[in-house]
Amino acid sequence: MKFDPAKAIQRLEQFGEFGGVNPSITDSSTFTFLGTETMEGTFHGETQGCFLYSRHWNPTNKYLSDALAAMEGTEAGWVTASGMAAITNAILQLCNSGDHLVSSVTTYGGTFAFLKNYLPKFNISVTFVDPTDLEAIENAIQPNTKVIYTETMTNPLLQISDIPAMADIANKHGVKLMVDNTFTPMIVAPFKLGAHIVVYSMTKFINGKNDCVAGAICASQEFIEALIDVNNGTSMLLGPVLDPMRSSSILKNLNTLHIRMKQHSSNAMYLAEKFTEIGLKVSYPGLKSHRGHELLNKIMNPKFGYGGLIAIDLKTSVMANKLMEMMQDKGVGYLAVSLGYFRTLFSNSGKSTSSEVPEDVQKGMGLSEGLVRFSVGLDNDIEDTYQTIKSCLKELKFI
């Protein structure tokens, strides 16, 4: 079953108030009603198409949410002020005090810190497992387990989660499978593969401009409605709402996501192959040598490539740091965390985006201190970029 998320977005008919080709921006926090009855009904979630207050719904956020739901093939979506808000709200909506989650050990650092350090406050426990070990996932399930949590492509080693198999385990035990698809929008459609809830940091590829922080939750209508229920919905009550001005600009960027993903992917593939040729230790799921290559082939949608992230092992953090500073000086890109930007970004994972993960856990998951993660940009001349990086490696006598 192959799905075309780009076509799903293209088919949407969203217009502005006066026939504008872009939906109008509604910069209002509150909304008027013609009568008291409609206001009461809207409060109780009974009136369709009416807006009450922008922490609940705003028309501009609704346009973006609808486009994201189309992209994922879910009934509904809801946009948040950050990726962490999407992740934490969806988890808190699914888990009560006394509940348990099974989570991949290689999640985004902030997610790991939330699961490990913050959830115990609410007496919610987590068992961390290797996301590629299906038996370990199933064995970790307890009677009070509510969620299996994973990332489609894990940071920074780019391992691939077997979403259909995880969904089978989740369904067998009556728990929800929640997937963070931040690294692979369009490339993989987790809901279509059986996941129940899909979350995003839109800060990354979806927006692609590094000009804001934002997130999204895509799921069933029932789940989204529960999330924003005025009496006990996690998002309605914690309030991490995205500003409608920002929703509007993200929606326009979403419409070029398919083209950007293709270019990120083909540039990353080029570098991964060239780096392999000169003997570097490369992690890229597009390479046959990568552990997740076959699996990704099986679950991915055609035409978007294998993603824009690659990791290379410089063995020591000293060498990694020297290379990154030199690459920045020579214009390869920027020494910065984050990803999915039009310019190449690089960082030393152990000391940055995975620094919330304790060193012994980092070692256990095979994270070398010299690992440099690249989020490959939209470079028009990737051969030139490669030659520049190669000259840096030579100057440092690494090759």
Which residues of the chain form contacts with ligand PLP (CB under 6 A)?
Answer: 82-84, 108, 110-111, 151, 155, 180, 182, 201, 203-204, 213, 215
| Smallest gap from residue 247 Cβ to ligand PLP (A) | 14
> Which of 250, 270, 258, 259 is CA-nearest to residue 376?
270
CB of 384 to ligand PLP, least distance (A): 28
State phi, psi for 118 to the nearest 5 degrees.
Answer: -100, -40
Q: Which CB sits closer to ligand PLP, 300 or 319?
A: 300
Nearer to ligand PLP, 214 or 299 (CB): 214
**Residue 132 vs 201, nearer CB to ligand PLP:** 201
Q: Tell me whether residue 310 or residue 392 sits nearer to ligand PLP (CB atom).
A: 310
Q: How far is the CB of 19 from ligand PLP (least distance, A)?
A: 34
CB-based closest residue to ligand PLP: 83
Q: In what order do the strands lie in the sheet with 333-335?
A: 282-283, 309-313, 371-375, 344-348, 333-335
Q: Cis peptide before 156, with omega less than 30 degrees from 0? A: yes
Calpha distance 189→175 (Å, rounded): 20
CA distances from 84 to 30, 37, 89, 392 (A): 26, 37, 8, 36
CB of 265 to ligand PLP, least distance (A): 17
Name which of 210 and 220 has its Cβ closer to ligand PLP: 210
Residue type, 102: V
- For residue 385, give the nearest of 245, 242, 270 by alpha carbon: 270
The residue (of 42 and 347) whose beta carbon lies closer to ligand PLP is 347
Rounded least distance, CB 307 to ligand PLP, Å: 12
| Smallest distance, ligand PLP to C-beta of residue 276, A | 25
- Dist CA 154 CA 244 (whole Å): 30
| Shortest Å distance, C-beta 139 to ligand PLP | 25
**Of the two residues 82 and 362, which places its CB atom closer to ligand PLP in the complex?**
82
Q: Where do runs of H (alpha helix) occur along 130-200?
A: 134-139, 163-173
Shortest distance (Å) from residue 339 CB to ligand PLP: 6
Q: Which residues contact 130 (CB under 8 A, 6 or more apart)?
A: 104, 105, 106, 136, 365
d(CA 138, CA 166): 9
Give which of 20, 42, 12 is closest to 30, Cα–Cα: 42
Return the number of the residue (202 or 314) whose C-beta is nearest ligand PLP: 202
Residue type (1 letter), 281? K
Residues with Cβ within 8 Å of residue 7, at least 6 apart in sequence: none
The count of other CB atoms within 10 Å of the CB of residue 31 is: 17
What's the min distance (Å) between Cβ of 80 and ligand PLP? 9
Nearer to ligand PLP, 83 or 350 (CB): 83
